[in-house]
Amino acid sequence: MKEKEILKVIKDDIFEGTPNILSKIDLKNIPIEEPQTKKKTLCNPFKKLPVALVMGVFVLALVIFSIAYRPKNTPPNTLTKVSVTEKDKIVVGYAITGIQLVGNYSYEVQTLNYNKQITTINKQKEKEISNEMIDEFHKYFYFVEDYLELYNVDIEIYVNEENDYEYKMIVKVEKLFNVFDEYILYYDEKREIDDDEEEKEMKGILIYQNITYNFKSEEELEEGESEIKVIIYEENYNNRVEIEKEVEIDEYQYEYTIYKDNKKHEVVELEVEEGKIELVIEKEDAEHEYTITKINNNNFLITYDDDYIFNLFIDLNEKQYVYEYENEQIIKK
Partner 1 sequence: MNLKAAINGIKQKDETAFEFIYNSTSSSVYGIIKAIIKDHNKTEDIMQETYIKMIKSINSYNYKYNFKSWLLTIARNTALDYYRKIIKEEVIDVNENEHLFPKQKSVVESKSLANYYLSLLDDDEREIVVLFAMENFKHKDIANIVNKPIGTVTWLYNKAIKKLKEASKEVK
> Is 3 a residue that touches partner 1 (CB under 8 A)?
yes
> Is 24 a residue that touches partner 1 (CB under 8 A)?
yes
Which of residues 89 and 283 has its CB atom nearest to partner 1 in the complex? 283
| From 161, 195, 284, 307, residue interacting with partner 1 (rule: CB under 8 A) | 307
> Is 274 a residue that touches partner 1 (CB under 8 A)?
no
Q: Pick the closest to residue 145 from 107, 94, 181 (CA basis).
A: 94
Size of the site for partner 1 (CB under 8 A): 43
> Is 6 a residue that touches partner 1 (CB under 8 A)?
yes
CB 80 within 8 A of CB 70: no
Which of residues 199 and 326 has its CB atom nearest to partner 1 in the complex? 326
Separation CA 172–CA 183 (nearest Å): 7
Which of residues 132 and 197 has its CB atom nearest to partner 1 in the complex? 132
| From 182, 287, 315, 318, residue interacting with partner 1 (rule: CB under 8 A) | 287
> Is 12 a residue that touches partner 1 (CB under 8 A)?
yes
Applying CB under 8 A, the span of 17-25, 47-55, 70-78, 107-115 interacting with partner 1 comes to 17-25
Which of residues 211 and 309 has its CB atom nearest to partner 1 in the complex? 309
CB 121 within 8 A of CB 129: no
Decide the pairing of beta strands 263-273 and 276-283: antiparallel
| From 47, 132, 237, 248, residue interacting with partner 1 (rule: CB under 8 A) | 132
Q: CB 132 → partner 1: shortest distance, Å?
A: 7
Applying CB under 8 A, the span of 3-11, 54-62, 111-119, 207-215 interacting with partner 1 comes to 3-11
C-alpha separations of 147 from 3, 141, 272, 292 in Å: 34, 10, 9, 12
Separation CA 38–CA 36 (nearest Å): 6
> Is 63 a residue that touches partner 1 (CB under 8 A)?
no
Which of residues 14 and 79 has its CB atom nearest to partner 1 in the complex? 14
Separation CA 210–CA 246 (nearest Å): 31
| From 73, 106, 122, 178, residue interacting with partner 1 (rule: CB under 8 A) | 122
CA angle 254, 207, 106 (to 5 degrees): 70
> Is 191 a residue that touches partner 1 (CB under 8 A)?
no
Q: CB 25 → partner 1: shortest distance, Å?
A: 5
Applying CB under 8 A, the span of 31-39, 153-161, 169-177, 236-244 interacting with partner 1 comes to 31-39
> Is 27 a residue that touches partner 1 (CB under 8 A)?
yes
| From 112, 129, 179, 309, residue interacting with partner 1 (rule: CB under 8 A) | 129
User: Residues of 258-288 as b/e, b for ≥16 C-beta within 10 angstroms?
Assistant: bbbeeeebbebbbbbeeeebebbbbeeeeeb
Separation CA 88–CA 62 (nearest Å): 8
> Is 32 a residue that touches partner 1 (CB under 8 A)?
yes
What does the binding site for partner 1 look like in residue numbers (CB under 8 A)? Answer: 1, 3, 5-15, 17-22, 24-25, 27-28, 30-36, 122, 126, 129, 132-133, 280, 286-288, 304-307
